[in-house]
Structure 1
Amino acid sequence: MPRQDGHQPFTSPTVHRWAWVLVAVFFVGGDFVTTSLGLSVVGVVERNSFLAPLVAEYGVVVILVLKAIVVGTGYAVYRHLPRPHDVGVPLGFATVGVAVTGWNVLVLGSALLA
């Protein structure tokens, strides 16, 4: 709902751009880098039952392929949603990315300190 001054939160193109930057940094980059590093540490394994056999078969590059498919699909959905609801797509990806990257950092840290 618009405020009395007519401004609608989350409709600024800048907000949308930064939301997609966060997707790239955390959902794609952060998860990929921390997962790649983690899998090189003894005792750390991929626990995602869907992803583990794919990583075992094709290597960590499969993560980037799957993320490209997921983010591409999300972007297509984003382009078809009305404002301000469309920004929920990158914000959702970014939230998951921050959580997963944070979890991976904790796993990495505990494995390296063990």
Structure 2
Amino acid sequence: MAWTVSLPRLDSPSVGSSECWLVGVLFFGLGDLATTWVGLGAGLAERNPVAVALLGRYGLLALVVPKLLVLGGAYLVWRRMSRPARAGIPVGLAVLGVSVTGWNLWMLTTAIGP
């Protein structure tokens, strides 16, 4: 039996649709914030210099505003772009979010242990 994979065309409406946005918001927005919060509570240090400055001045809740600005700005750019180029915006956020959240989880597991 032969296996086939069907990929959507880049100009199809399904590319860059709600699934990619959902993954981007969940992982880039919420996942990164949650794992950063847990990591800081466990004694880990933030490596992003902008985040370090915001944390030092305003505390953890100040990280929410930049996240919202990035997500909102990405959405506005996505709305203005034409297909197929705009598919990269939600895909990029999703990949970045999963990567950053995964890295944070890795740091947590190595610092805290199983």
TM range (shorter): 0.7 to 0.9
**Quick one: distance in 1 between partners of 2:11 and 2:40?**
37
Q: How many residues align?
A: 107
Deviations 1:1-46 (A, max 9, x none): xxxxxx734623475110110111110011010001000002x011
Question: In the TM superposition, what is the alpha-carbon distance from 1:53 to its structure 2 partner?
Answer: 1.5
- The one-letter code sitting in structure 1 at the alignment partner of 2:67 is K
> What residue ranges of structure 2 are gaps of 5+ in the alignment?
1-7
TM-score by length of 1: 0.85
**CA–CA separation in structure 2 for the residues paired with 1:70 and 1:9:** 24
CA distance in 2, matches of 1:10, 1:52: 40
Q: Is the 8 A contact 1:27 1:94 kept in 2?
A: yes
> Secondary structure of 1:50's partner?
helix
Question: 1:66 — aligned with what?
Answer: 66
8 A Cα contact 2:24 2:94, kept in partner: yes
Question: For residue 37 of structure 1, what is the aligned residue in structure 2?
Answer: 38
- TM-score, normalised to structure 2, is 0.85
Question: For the residues of structure 2 that align with 1:105 and 1:71, how far apart are their CA atoms?
Answer: 22
- What is the alpha-carbon root mean square deviation over aligned residues? 1.8
CA contact (8 A) 1:20 1:90 kept: yes
SS in 1 for 2:17: helix
Give, in whole Å, the separation in 1 of the partners of 2:20 and 2:11: 10
Aligned to 1:78: 78
SS of the residue aligned with 1:8?
coil
1:60-94 residue CA offsets vs partner (Å, 9 max, x unmatched): 11211101001111111000111122121011111
* Runs ≥4 residues deviating over 2 A: 7-15
* 2:16 and 2:88 in contact (8 A); partners too: no
Is structure 2 residue 23 aligned with structure 1 residue 22? yes
